[in-house]
Amino acid sequence: MSDQVFMLPDLGEGLTEADIAEWRVKVGDTVAIDQVVVEVETAKAAVEVPIPFEGTVVALHGDEGSTLKVGTPLITVSGAVHDQYREEERAGSGNILIGYGTSEDTRRRRRRVHPDGGGTAPASHGTATVSAGAVSRVISPVVRNLAIRNGLDLSTLSGTGSAGVITRADIESALAAAPGRPADHQRIPIKGLRKTVADKLSTSRREIPDATTWVDVDATALLDARGAINAALGDTGVSLLALLARMAVAALKQFPELNSTVDTDRNEIVQYAHVHLGIAAQTPRGLVVPVIEHADSITTVALAQQLRETTDLAREGKLAPARLSGGTFTLNNYGVFGVDGSTPIINHPEAAILGVGRIIDKPWVVDGQVAVRKVTQVSLSFDHRVCDGGVAGGFLRLFADYIENPISVLGRL
């Protein structure tokens, strides 16, 4: 019998630290090889960490919400030690995160705690007043810690997030409505995903000489086309976002200057031969941009399916870090927030970001007569180093033309 200290493993993508989101075990619990013992939140995703040892937990090296560096102690286990993960590494699994082997036996042994509360690994949740059901509906450690600091009973709250997830806004609303609660200032650490987003946006503003152009568009025909497509496809329908993504990809084929980046070290513009399309998505953890690789080489239906699966995983915090990087162009549907327009910040190191506002009824001139049409505003922020306003305006006008005459592009792709 000996104590084995499991260090926080390298989580890949150049990440050097992680926040402890939720311990799935406590001191005194018995753990098995490849059992998930903790969920950590990195700058890019939430990651479940399995342990390569079995035995009894004797120490947890960090509280929920604390930050650990890669290579520092995570958990100490006392008991027998097995070399399963080393055998898998020698077999060539190539996984950076120890415990994520590729053998079928490993996959069968792996246990997970799902957002619906399922799973078998025990968990401790600090000092918050919570029920098991409430815990499963709080994904963000920031939200949980905010409730803990203010003594809120999470089991009494209704979540307004996806699938009933309790969000920070829900906590703040509950605090504002609490009788007799004094106003209090809060200091919220900028770390994890929020720090990554802040750093990237600051870099974009600092390094990219950006400009924005926009245009109002009649989207009536687009909505009609989507209705006809979904009537034909049935259960495998396509979302409006998927159609907009398809049109953006088609427009990029005509204006490849915007599907590029600036290599400042070599003073060169790199135009990509493929389109890795980023989709800006708001999640309980904050803004993320999951990437659909080779969006220019798949069908509209396949693109719609990948968008559904990818955005669902992003909102649940289950996307691998690699799925949140490598984009060449970003589409931002800020219309879901009920706003008409925006000047979106370019997702550095990309060269452009396309935004779409809400679609609403507006008076519009059709064949010399005023009619009520479904109108939206589209905008493009672009890096002025890769092109001038003529190229940017040409791309945006083509994209707008596709919206007004969708059959011209959807019929070809």
What is the C-alpha separation between 293 and 306, in angstroms, rounded? Answer: 10
Residues facing residue 270 across a β-bridge:
261
- Write down the catalytic residue from 114, 274, 294, 384: 384
Four-CA torsion 160, 162, 164, 169, nearest 10 degrees: -30
384 has catalytic annotation:
yes
What pLDDT score was predicted for residue 196?
82
Q: How far is CA 374 from CA 295, 360, 403, 407, in A?
A: 27, 5, 11, 17
| CA distance readout (Å), 69 to 37, 46, 147 | 17, 16, 26
Where are the domains positioned within the chain? 2-109, 132-177, 193-410
CATH architecture designation of domain 193-410: 2-Layer Sandwich (3.30)
Please provide the DSSP assignment of 260-328 as one string.
Answer: EEEETTTTEEEE-SS--EEE-EEETTEEE--EETTGGGS-HHHHHHHHHHHHHHHHTT---GGGGS--S
- 2-109 maps to CATH 2.40.50.100: yes
- Residue 391 φ/ψ, nearest 5 degrees: -65, -45
Q: Which amino acid is it at 209?
A: P
Question: What is the C-alpha to C-alpha distance for residues 29 and 144, in angstroms, rounded to an integer?
Answer: 23
Q: Which backbone phi and psi does 164 adopt, to 5 degrees?
A: 80, 15
Fold match between 2-109 and 193-410? no
Residue 256 half-sphere exposure, CB side, CA atoms within 13 Å?
A: 9
Q: Phi, psi at residue 14, to the nearest 5°?
A: 75, 15
3-class DSSP assignment, residue 345: coil
pLDDT at position 160, please?
Answer: 82
pLDDT of residue 247: 97
- The pLDDT of residue 152 is 83
Q: What is the pLDDT of residue 245?
A: 97
Q: Are 80 and 54 in contact (CB under 8 A)?
A: yes
CATH number 4.10.320.10 given to 132-177: yes
Tokens 């800006």 belong to residue: 280
What integer pLDDT is reported at residue 142 of this predicted model? 63
Which residues, 6+ apart, have CB-to-CB distance to 357 below 8 Å? Answer: 334, 335, 339, 340, 341, 342, 376, 377, 378, 379
Mean pLDDT by 10 residues, the chain (413 residues): 85 78 92 89 78 91 89 87 44 37 36 36 38 50 74 82 76 79 70 83 94 97 94 85 96 97 96 96 84 94 93 85 91 93 94 97 96 97 96 97 92 56
318 in Cβ contact with 46 (< 8 Å): yes
**pLDDT score recorded for residue 246:** 96
Structure confidence at residue 176 (pLDDT): 80
